[in-house]
């Protein structure tokens, strides 16, 4: 019968004569956790891993918050960089983070001021106290990109929400007498939807009407409506949902505005269709007119038009410009992206990449510090 030798305990080794000899103890070193990304929270830049928010958040319980989605784009080809903001402009008063070194070309934010202006309007609706002006928020966002080293395509998510009941405020759901929290995060993000088209299904879940929850604001709690529609579409094998309003007219996709094209005529649901007035939607309408010579009719769009359209495409900050190639299992037109959709994709790309001079006022350059060899400019 053979017996296996016992494994020596930690800190020992076998001596030459087979006995145990105590090995020199090595100082224990705790593993260094990876650094989490920088975020901006309640007036300061902190690591995401250092953020603690308790379980009693009013915004979490009642959906009493608002948010935005903003994109930044990598530096385009040489010669197409938007001009820097004038002295004293939106970025000049922000935190300089010790940037006394020459500025290097960096990414830039698209429609950042427009997004933050809408965030301010949403905050007024929900009685949220946002202490930073639009230029200050743009500066903060630029600094957040710098700290995280986000020089390529990225996505920025500012969230403002109700935090906690103030002293003397009775328990319950309410807007007054509740403190406010602001958090801004950023992450790398390129195109996450195929430029060659997606499939959609018309949802049985109707869009919340403006008379129940104002659609001009991006209220966090309202997106449960969108989530139900997406869940239904996903279960049916579609990529996204198209939502009708309470009158049975086309409203929008889950997080994007919708356009239809038939016989060369372009239309999109009007603002009274219970849609979010998308910033990308507005840019696309203007691009079609100014660069493509095409007029977009803002009108009622019937569900039947989706099945008779030659083209359907979606627009949004996140998805950008996306063709819809089938709806409810039926091909849209020839079942491939059409010429108007491809034109919009090209014009939008040129606008966000700073190649259209008339739209460069929407591009906010983010100057990066020139790092010395072997140094890290971030704390």
* pLDDT score recorded for residue 76: 64
- Which of 119, 132, 315 is CA-nearest to residue 217? 119
Report if pTM > 0.75: yes
Beta bridge partners of 16: none
**Closest Cα partner for 208 from 196, 195, 221, 197?**
221
Distance (Å, rounded) from C-alpha 115 to C-alpha 353?
18
What's the confidence (pLDDT) of residue 191? 85
In angstroms, what CA-CA distances link 198 with 183, 240, 253, 349, 358? 32, 8, 12, 19, 31
Q: Please state the φ and ψ torsions of residue 115, each to the nearest 5 degrees.
A: -65, -45
Per-residue pLDDT of the chain (379 residues; tens, 9 = 90+): 444 444 444 443 333 344 444 444 544 566 655 679 999 999 999 999 999 888 889 999 999 999 999 999 997 655 544 443 333 333 333 333 333 333 446 798 999 999 999 999 999 999 999 999 999 999 999 999 999 999 999 999 999 999 999 999 999 899 999 999 999 999 999 888 889 999 999 999 999 999 999 999 999 999 999 999 999 999 999 999 999 999 999 999 999 999 999 999 999 999 999 999 999 999 999 999 999 999 999 999 999 999 999 999 999 999 999 999 999 999 999 999 999 999 999 999 999 998 999 999 999 999 887 654 333 444 4
User: How do 320-327 and 311-316 pair as beta strands?
Assistant: antiparallel
Task: Provide the pLDDT for residue 280.
Answer: 98
**CA distance linking residue 133 with residue 188, whole number of Å:** 25
Predicted local distance difference test score (pLDDT) of residue 77:
55
**pLDDT value of position 101:** 39
* 3-class SS letters over the chain: CCCCCCCCCCCEEECCCCCEEECCCCCCCCCCCCCCCEEEECCEEEEHHHCCCCCCCHHHHHCCEEECCEEEECCCCCCCCCCCCCCCCCCCCCCCCCCCCCEECCCEEECHHHHHHHHHHHHHHCCCCCCCCHHHHHHHHHHHHHHHCCCCCEEEEEEEEEEEECCCCCCCCCCCCEEEEEEEEEEECCCCCCCCCEEEEECCCCCCCCCCCCCCCCEHHHHHHHHHHHHHHHHCCCCEEEEECCCCEEEEECCCEEEEEECCEEEEECHHHCCCCCHHHHHHHHHHHHCCCCCEEEECCEHHHHHHCCEEEEEECCCEEEEEEEECCEECCCCCCCHHHHHHHHHHHHHHCCCCHHHHHHEEECCEECCCCCCCCCC
Q: What is the pLDDT of residue 366?
A: 93
Side-chain-side CA neighbours of 4 within 13 Å: the count stands at 3
Q: State the pLDDT at residue 140.
A: 97
């Amino acid at each position: 019968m053979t017996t296996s030798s016992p494994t020596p305990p930690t800190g020992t080794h076998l001596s030459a004569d087979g006995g145990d000899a105590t090995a020199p103890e090595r100082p224990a070193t705790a593993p260094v956790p990876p650094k989490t990304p920088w975020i901006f929270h309640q007036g300061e830049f902190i690591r995401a891993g250092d953020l603690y928010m308790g379980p009693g958040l009013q915004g979490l319980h009642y959906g009493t918050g608002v948010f935005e989605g903003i994109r930044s784009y990598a530096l385009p080809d040489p010669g197409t960089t938007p001009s820097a903001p004038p002295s004293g402009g939106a970025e000049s008063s922000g935190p300089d983070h010790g940037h006394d070194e020459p500025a290097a070309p960096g990414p830039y934010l698209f429609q950042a001021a427009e997004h933050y202006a809408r965030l301010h309007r949403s905050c007024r609706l929900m009685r949220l106290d946002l202490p930073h002006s639009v230029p200050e928020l743009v500066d903060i966002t630029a600094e957040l990109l710098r700290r995280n080293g986000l020089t390529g395509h990225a996505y920025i998510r500012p969230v403002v929400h109700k935090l906690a009941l103030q002293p003397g405020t009775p328990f319950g759901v309410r807007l007054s007498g509740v403190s406010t929290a602001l958090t801004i995060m950023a992450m790398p993000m390129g195109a996450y939807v195929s430029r060659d088209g997606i499939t959609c299904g018309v949802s049985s879940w109707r869009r919340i009407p403006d008379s129940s929850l104002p659609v001009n604001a991006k209220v966090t709690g309202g997106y449960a409506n969108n989530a139900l529609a997406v869940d239904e579409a996903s279960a049916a094998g579609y990529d996204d949902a198209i939502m009708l309003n309470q009158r049975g007219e086309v409203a929008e996709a889950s997080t994007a505005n919708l356009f239809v094209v038939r016989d060369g005529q372009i239309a999109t649901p009007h603002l009274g269709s219970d849609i979010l007035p998308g910033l990308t939607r507005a840019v696309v309408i203007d691009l079609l007119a100014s660069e493509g010579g095409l007029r977009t009719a803002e009108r009622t769009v019937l569900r039947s038009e989706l099945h008779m359209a030659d083209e359907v495409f979606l627009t949004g900050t996140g998805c950008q410009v996306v063709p819809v190639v089938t709806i409810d299992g039926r091909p849209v037109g020839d079942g491939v992206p059409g010429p108007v959709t491809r034109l919009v994709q090209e014009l939008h790309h040129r606008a966000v990449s700073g190649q259209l001079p008339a739209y460069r006022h929407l591009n906010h350059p983010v100057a990066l510090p020139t790092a010395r060899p072997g140094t890290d400019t971030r704390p």
